[in-house]
Amino acid sequence: MKVWSLKRSANYGSKHYDEHALKIRAVKRSADKLTLTFEIPDLAPTQCYELKIGDRVLHGTIHQLN
């Protein structure tokens, strides 16, 4: 998993700023095998993240952690 920030401007797109990897300490699968729970100690709100699982890639934003 990696995270980064973007610089907001009138132009579309931005370079990645402060891009860095996060260590995934553990992954647990639910009994029904439908849910994965990740233990990521340094995870914090971020403009952008990328999580690769096998040949799948998930991108998103984390606004708030509960």
Average pLDDT of the chain, as a whole number? 95
Domain limits for position 42:
2-62
Q: Which residues contact 63 (CB under 8 A, 6 or more apart)?
A: 45
* Amino acid 63: pLDDT: 97
In the chain, the number of structural domains is: 1
Q: How many CA atoms lie within 13 A of 29 on its CB side?
A: 4
Q: What is the structure's pLDDT at 12?
A: 84
CA-nearest of 50, 59, 48, 56 to 14 is 48
Please tell me the predicted confidence (pLDDT) of residue 13. Answer: 79
- Looking up tokens 């914090």 gives 44
Q: What is the pLDDT of residue 10?
A: 86
pTM of this structure: 0.82
Structure tokens at 59: 């991108």
Task: Report the alpha-carbon distance of residue 37 to residue 47 in Å, rounded.
Answer: 21
12-25 pLDDT, tens digit each:
878 999 999 999 99
